[in-house]
Amino acid sequence: MTPGLLGGLSLLLSLLVSLAGFVLALLAYLQGDGRFLKGALRAAPLALAFAALAFLALEWALLTHDFTLRYVAQHHSTKDPLWVVLVTPWAALEGSILLWGLLQTLYTYLASRARLDPWRRSLVLATLFGVQVFFFGVMATIANPFEAMPNPPSEGMGPNPLLQNHWMMAVHPVLMYLGFVGLSVPFAHAVAAMLTRRYQTWVAETRWWTLIAWGFLTAGKVAGGWWSYEVLGWGGYWAWDPVENASFIPWLLATAFLHTAFVQEARGRFRVWNLAFVTLAFASTVLGTFLTRSGVIQSVHAFAEGPVGPVFLGFFLLVLALGFGLLSRVGREVGEEGGLRLFSREGALLLGAFFFAGWALVVVLGTLYPLLVEAFTGAKVSVGAPFFNQVSLPLGAGILLLMGVGPLLPWRRAGREVLRNLAVLLLALAVGFLAGLLRGYTLGASLAVGLFLYNLAAVALLTWEGLQARRRAGLSPWGFFGQRRRVGSLVVHLGVALAGLAIAFSQTYRLESEKTLYRGQAWEVAGLRMEFQGVRALDEGRRFAVEALLQTDRFGEVRPRLHFYPQMNAPLAYPRVVYTLGNDYYFVLMDFDREKGEWASLRLIVTPMVLWLWVAGGVVALGTLYILWPEARPRTREAVA
């Protein structure tokens, strides 16, 4: 058996099993017959096994250089190192959809293990199997990774150089897909809740699935920003690229849900909002896939043009129609009891969710506006970073403000102790802001310092109150740190505040300079002295490399590179970044003397606090992991108390 035959057969079986699972799950709900549900439950691991077999077949084809498959011939070469071969399945359109399908079957299997009443379990499975049928149907028809090559070449073209220029590409796409696909489970729970009219309990079961997907999305975005920073050679980590925006939208909507879900669990409110946020979050992942793979936008992230664009657009509209068709009924049936006090925890959480949702709406409009203008008028317009930065600044500042004060407010009416805490927060904000101004920072950077101290004070107050509450109850105060959900949220908030500070400083105080140096010539920028000592050419098999030899007075020898891939007409910069606690020193080789190596054109970018952005991402990931970690069973005394 060949890899192509095994993979094609596995794909077909996975599609048929998913289709059977979809029908059986629907019959279980419509007929109220548990035998159909058992059949659907058996289909979940079978679909996962066949999808895994298909994925392994593609890896087999890549490892054995089977150029009889079009995907292998177009995205692999015999010169690729092993790690590039192993990640090539998600280096192009068909393989990335296969990875998506594999992860979808994994999530469906895990969701099938959850204990739910048979009605909702049937509908959750039907929705997830429906999504599976779509993805495996796409692969079986218009994006088959096992399509045969009529005249197989003796050597392949290799993957996109941008995808093999940094090891982070082995991690970033998988994390993003785990986040995107993970949002299908909350959507399936929402559909089941709306159809069965059980609008309350679903949110507690769904919040954990959303938090898992949100955690992967966060980690994926940090990894993507790091990859962009270290590979693309422009010295930035976020460019408001349409595909970056498309991945940001579900993150914002999932964040909005995580906050309002907390209110529904505690107070039974915001049920319609929660169903809407979950529906929009999943729909936006499909929209992002459409933008990435339809060819309607130009981006370093866009995979290809092809027939999958209209299909994904149709699936996006179908998801919206299903979700909002059901929501129209929910809106008529669900009424929120009692008035809402804005100066309360639930008011702050709802306002924060509106900030996140509003931010998502702005990003959607800014991303789609050029496409809509071109579609209706033929004119080409662009919406660039200045627009997104201007609207994001007040939204981000508002979120940081709410993030500090919200958890300190009581659920209903604020009392005197809240005013005391608010005074402490405002004092921290004022001290940070004035200290920034005194040090000569800009207004924006000074505000960022103030907001960081403000949130630091909020975390300290919440921790202190948690310790004191346990002491008053006669419990060990240190047991507070065992409250994973509460403490994990504080850690996440701390990471977000640190990220806000790092973004403000790195965007405000970036210093960039360019110069052509001759051999032996020295250059001093921002207190750093470097001497150009020549260039060196290297043959690395799959590519040529040229590196400039720079001797610096602080970091020793630094070697920024240019990579020359046979698939690309222009060289690809491979900067060298020296991280320090204060500034990053970002060296880029732009051009060089191709005859004698006597000169080189260099760019040096000095940016403060970028390192802390990656640290902040790690803090958020740790906080999320801590929340998801299973709670320890309470000791007997505490349980009685």
- Tens digit of each residue's pLDDT (9 = 90 or more) over 16-64: 999 999 999 999 999 988 899 999 999 999 999 999 999 999 999 999 9
More confident position, 470 or 301: 470
Among candidates 25, 43, 21, which has minimal Cα distance to 34?
25
Strands 599-608 and 583-592, sheet pairing: antiparallel
Cα–Cα dist 539/566, whole Å: 12
Handedness of CA 295, 299, 302, 303 (dihedral sign): positive
Structure token digits, residue 538: 């290297």
Give the per-residue pLDDT at 637.
Answer: 47
Cα–Cα dist 162/573, whole Å: 10
Cα–Cα dist 439/542, whole Å: 50
Among candidates 197, 200, 192, which has minimal Cα distance to 269?
200
| Pair 467, 477: CB distance under 8 Å | yes
Give the per-residue pLDDT at 292.
Answer: 75
Q: Range with the lowest mean pLDDT among 23-27, 79-83, 120-124, 489-493?
A: 79-83
Q: What is the mean pLDDT of the chain?
A: 89
| Pair 143, 101: CB distance under 8 Å | no
Residue 641 clears pLDDT 50, i.e. is over it: no
Cα–Cα dist 579/586, whole Å: 9
Residue 640 clears pLDDT 50, i.e. is over it: no
Q: What percent of the chain has pLDDT over 70?
A: 95
Q: Give 188-245 as a DSSP string.
A: HHHHHHHHHT-TTTHHHHHHHHHHHHHHHHHHHHHHHHHHHHHHSSSS-S----HHHH
| Res. 99 pLDDT band, cuts 50 70 90 | very high
Structure token digits, residue 136: 């495996």
Structure token digits, residue 586: 């970002």
Among candidates 354, 278, 287, 276, which has minimal Cα distance to 317?
287
Give the per-residue pLDDT at 413.
Answer: 64
Cα–Cα dist 444/611, whole Å: 20
| Pair 620, 606: CB distance under 8 Å | no
pLDDT in tens, 227-285: 889 888 888 889 888 888 888 999 999 999 999 998 888 888 888 999 999 999 999 99
Cα–Cα dist 558/556, whole Å: 7
CA 258 to chain centre: 15
Residue 305 clears pLDDT 80, i.e. is over it: no
Cα–Cα dist 75/198, whole Å: 48
Among candidates 569, 478, 554, which has minimal Cα distance to 161?
569
In the chain, the domains with their CATH numbers are 1-164 (1.20.120), 168-404 (no CATH), 405-509+618-628 (no CATH), 511-612 (2.60.98)
| Res. 296 pLDDT band, cuts 50 70 90 | low
Residue 383 clears pLDDT 90, i.e. is over it: no
Quick check: helix, strand or coil at residue 382? coil
| Pair 17, 161: CB distance under 8 Å | no
Give the per-residue pLDDT at 339.
Answer: 66
Give the per-residue pLDDT at 156.
Answer: 85
Give the per-residue pLDDT at 177.
Answer: 93
| Pair 267, 346: CB distance under 8 Å | yes
Give the per-residue pLDDT at 639.
Answer: 41
Residue 468 clears pLDDT 60, i.e. is over it: yes
Structure token digits, residue 235: 């010295």
Residue 546 clears pLDDT 50, i.e. is over it: yes
Backbone torsions φ then ψ of 281, nearest 5 degrees: -60, -45
Q: Range with the lowest mean pLDDT among 98-107, 418-427, 492-501?
A: 418-427
Cα–Cα dist 536/541, whole Å: 16
Residues 6+ apart with CB under 8 A from 321: none
Q: Mean pLDDT across the stretch 521-542?
A: 91
Residue 163 clears pLDDT 80, i.e. is over it: no
Residue 336 clears pLDDT 70, i.e. is over it: no
| Pair 192, 123: CB distance under 8 Å | yes
Structure token digits, residue 474: 């006669």
Residue 303 clears pLDDT 60, i.e. is over it: no
Structure token digits, residue 199: 């609008």
Cα–Cα dist 572/416, whole Å: 61
Residue 201 clears pLDDT 50, i.e. is over it: yes
Give the per-residue pLDDT at 638.
Answer: 44
Q: Mean pLDDT across the stretch 363-388?
A: 84
